[in-house]
Homo-oligomer: A and B are copies of this chain.
Amino acid sequence: MKRKIDKQLDQSTEEKIKAAAYKLFTQKGYAGTRTRDIAEESGINLALLNYYFRSKEKLFDLIMADNMKQFMFGIFAITNDEKTSYEEKFTLIVNAYIDMLTIQPDMPIFVLSEIRYDPSGLIEKMQLDSTIMNSHMIKQLKQASDSGEIEEINPIHILMNILGLTIFPFIGSPLLKKIGGMEDAQFTAMMQERKKLIPAWIKEIIKKK
């Protein structure tokens, strides 16, 4: 007889498959991942993959949705928080991404690759436009701009800057490590430095001169 606690100790078969699929899809993309590899990685039988998830594509859709949620959730929650200043939001966004991507460095390139190649228009189904462009942060920036506190600048530029400065180093990390002659530990240390540097840079950039 299984006791309740077993559920936490050993993963269910379904969870094992999902975990393996998550790892492989994120690493090698949809086309580069074979269902046989997922089965082997999770230590289960190939037939069980179809038993639980019907098809490779259905399994992928689940993983992709998970990834997208993780990739976007932080920024949704942070930009809409009415209790923080826009400066604090910069710091919160940068910290959230750096902490997440330090653990999962493959995620952004996976998400952005699959969105880009996607033949089925995955991105069309999401309502991203309203959610971020109507966020509390955008209102704060508009107000700061109107009062002459910061430069007049398209908020999309600011978003590009925050995400570019924060996410790009992870996307380019193999190249950047090679160029800088860095080990993983050094790279991680640099990204920790950037938690302080990036918010300061962004403020500097938008400040009225």
Contact = CB atoms under 8 A, between A and B. Distances in A.
A204 interface: yes
Among A126, A154, A160, A201, which residue has the most Cβ atoms of chain B within 10 A? A160
Contacts of A156: 176, 179-180, 182, 190
Interface in A163-209: 163-169, 171-172, 174-176, 178-182, 190, 193-194, 197, 201, 204-205
B157 A190 contact: yes
| Integer count of this chain's copies in the complex | 2
Interface stretch (A13-21, A82-90, A91-99, A112-120): A112-120
A193 B151 CA distance: 15
**A contacts with B: majority SS:** helix
A60 to B, nearest CB: 13
A106 interface: yes
A176 B204 contact: no
A169 B160 contact: yes
Interface in A29-63: 29-32
Nearest to A106: B116
Contacts of A176: 156, 159-160
A129 B168 CA distance: 19
Contact of A179 (B28, B113, B129, B182): B129
Given A106-B116, A156-B176, A168-B171, 20 more contacts: A27-B117, A29-B29, A29-B32, A30-B32, A32-B117, A109-B112, A112-B171, A123-B175, A129-B180, A133-B181, A156-B179, A157-B193, A159-B180, A160-B194, A164-B166, A164-B169, A165-B165, A167-B172, A171-B171, A204-B205
9 contacts: A31-B31, A112-B175, A115-B175, A123-B174, A123-B175, A157-B190, A160-B169, A160-B176, A201-B201
